[in-house]
Structure 1
Amino acid sequence: MGNSRAYPVFRTGDAVEAWTQALRLNALLEVHDDEVTLMADLMTVEDARRMAAVLPRAEFNHARAQVDPAAPEIVHFGSDIATTEDALLEPELPLSVLHYVPPGTVEDEFVRALGRGIASIGLSGRWPDDAETDSGGVAAYDGVEVVFNGDNVNWSRPADHHTVFVHVDKWGDLPRAEKLAAFLGGTVLGDAQHGW
């Protein structure tokens, strides 16, 4: 099966602009999945409360595994972010969330709730076949992803900007990525990265 290849095609310091450009690319997908993937690392109490208000049914966890020294097992975060006092929530940070939503439901609110932690919105589907670039769409790999506060699709490099990626087949369809970058008025901004 393998992973998609993700090419960075747009970068900006404005989260709303990054999301807007991702939506422009998403409109080019021939097929859209019925779920959007939302992920975020929440670094402050304020970040956690804003995100919990946007995703009240989501499960929040410790961003880094915490182990109980008395019994070597992972400690799960089980508090209600909305009602837990700041002094009790602070030592639990950073928190993370991975949640799936139907398209067009809370994505705009998610973008407005972002803090300084790395976050992403993944929109998967299938690109149309393109005779001009000799590219075929592959539903297992295709899509658009915005990485907020980062420039690596695998979250390994935090940054002060936001990066839009296009996911293509596992062989790295550079001609398609170049055409999608040109649609936004730019070029591919770096090498392919291992995607989803």
Structure 2
Amino acid sequence: MPFEDQPAFVVGVGGNALPTDPSAYEGRLPVEWEALDLPVGSIQDAFAATTGPSTGEINWQALHWPDAPEVGFPGESTHAEVTLLFHTHDRGWDEPADDHTVLVHVRSARFDGRQRNEPYAHWLAAQVGLTVVGPAQRS
């Protein structure tokens, strides 16, 4: 059965069976979709075209942050995620925006009253030629 003829709530539609015309999704959002092991750069443009001006997010999990001895960070996998937010500045989608936000997730840790891992987020950004532009968010 074609996607357009299926009820608004459908479970188990394969990615290759999804339409490319954004109008096919009217009345069907929000949608939650899980796709494992897709490389960075493979879905962002199509996702942005599909969501249009609506909010949405792509979250990469099961990453591993490398060791960074120069900032005192031993690397880790537990809290290693990146979230790309479309048309919002927070994961609760409470701050609509005209642009997109990238959140880099690192473990929050304070030692002796001092934030220890926020410098690691800055270090990560610098590794790809970027900078952190906003304050840390707590979830």
Pairwise TM-score range, normalised by the shorter structure: 0.5 to 0.7
The match for 2:134 is 190
1:108-143 per-position Cα deviation (integer Å, ceiling 9, x unaligned): 422332211111111121201211111123322112
> Counterpart of 1:107 in structure 2: which amino acid?
I
Q: Give the conservation status (yes or no) of the 8 Å contact 2:108–2:118.
A: no
In the alignment, structure 1 residue 104 sits paired with structure 2 residue 41: no
Letter in 2 for 1:130: A
| Mapped pair 1:115 → 2:52 | yes
User: In 2, are the aligned partners of 1:117 and 1:149 still within 8 Å (CA)?
Assistant: yes
Task: Verify the 8 A CA contact 2:81 2:106 in the aligned structure 1.
Answer: yes
For residues 129-188 of structure 1, give each alpha carbon's deviation from its aligned partner in whole angstroms, at most 9, with x where no partner exists. Answer: 211111123322112111011112332101000111110013261111111222343422
176 and 193 in structure 1: CA distance in 2 versus 1, 3 angstrom threshold: same
CA contact (8 A) 1:151 1:157 kept: yes
Instruction: Structure 2 unaligned segments of length 5 or more: list them.
Output: 110-114
CA distance in 2, matches of 1:137, 1:57: 37
One-letter amino acid of the structure 2 residue matched with residue 57 of structure 1: V
Normalising by the residue count of structure 1, what TM-score does the alignment of the two structures yield? 0.48
User: Higher relative contact order at CA 8 Å, sep ≥6: structure 1 or structure 2?
Assistant: 1
Secondary structure of 2:37 counterpart: coil
Aligned equivalents of 2:127, 2:97: Cα separation in 1: 25
Q: Distance in 2 between matches of 1:149 and 1:188?
A: 18
- Measured on the aligned residues, the alpha-carbon RMSD in Å equals 3.2
CA distance in structure 1 between the aligned counterparts of 2:67 and 2:125, rounded to whole angstroms: 17
In structure 2, C-alpha distance between the alignment counterparts of 1:119 and 1:156, rounded to whole Å: 12
Are residues 1:158 and 2:102 paired? no
> Sequence identity, in percent?
31
Query: In 2, are the aligned partners of 1:153 and 1:193 still within 8 Å (CA)?
Result: no
Unaligned 5+ runs, structure 1: 1-48, 59-80
The 1-side partners of 2:96 and 2:128 are apart by 24
1:134-173 map, 5 Å: 134-171=72-109, 173=117
Aligned length: 114
Larger strand proportion of the pair: 1
Per the alignment, in what secondary structure is the counterpart of residue 32 of structure 2? Answer: strand
